[in-house]
Amino acid sequence: MCFTRNSLLVLLLTLAVFYQAPAAAQVNSSAISAFHHKSHKTVDTLINLKPGETYALLLKSLPSEGYGWTFELLGDKESISANFAKQATPPAPDPNVPKFVGASVEQRFLVKGLCPGSVTIHLVERRPWEKDKPPADERNIRVTVKIQ
C-alpha cells in the first residue's frame, strides 16, 4: 500500500481529532472529524483555504432514525463550492466484525476554495419532519479563501 505525504497527514489529523481534541476545537487543516452529539450544541470551526484546496469534514449521522444533514451558505457564496460527497461502494464486509443495526454512518462534506472571500457554512442535523424542534446537531464552519 502506498501513501502520499498528504494522505498520511489527513489520516493523522483525523485520528488526532478523533482521539484527543474537544469537539469545539478550532483547526486549520485539510480534514477533521466531527462527532454526533445527542444534546443540542453548536460547534464552530475556522478553516483557511487557498483556491483549489479542498477541506473534508466527516459528519456522523443516524439515517436509520431519520436524521440527515443539510447546509446553508452565508456570505461570499461564490468563494467556495460545498457539497456532500457521493457514497462510494462500501468494501466487502469483514465476517469478523460484528454488525450493528441502526449504527451511525459518516457523511463526508467537501468544501473547495474557488476564489478569495469569506463564507460561513451552517450545517444542521435533524429529522425533516421535526422542523419545530431544535436540531440534534449544528456546525458553523467559517471559511476564508485567500491567495497566500
The per-residue pLDDT for range 65-76, each reduced to its tens digit, is: 899 999 999 999
Neighbours of 11 (CB within 10 A): 12
Per domain, the residue ranges of the chain are: 5-86+102-145
Q: Output the pTM of the full model.
A: 0.64
Helix-strand-coil split of the chain, %, nearest 5: 15, 40, 45
The C-alpha cell that represents 118 in the structure block = 469569506
Question: Residue 35: its pLDDT value, please?
Answer: 39
C-alpha cell at position 32: 477533521
d(C-alpha 58, C-alpha 35), whole Å: 8
Query: Which of 96 and 32 is assigned the larger pLDDT?
Result: 96
**83-134 pLDDT tens trace:** 998 765 555 667 776 666 666 778 899 999 999 999 999 999 999 999 899 9
pLDDT of residue 18 exceeding 90, the answer is: no
Q: State whether CATH 3.40.50.2000 applies to domain 5-86+102-145.
A: no
- The three-class DSSP label of residue 99 is coil
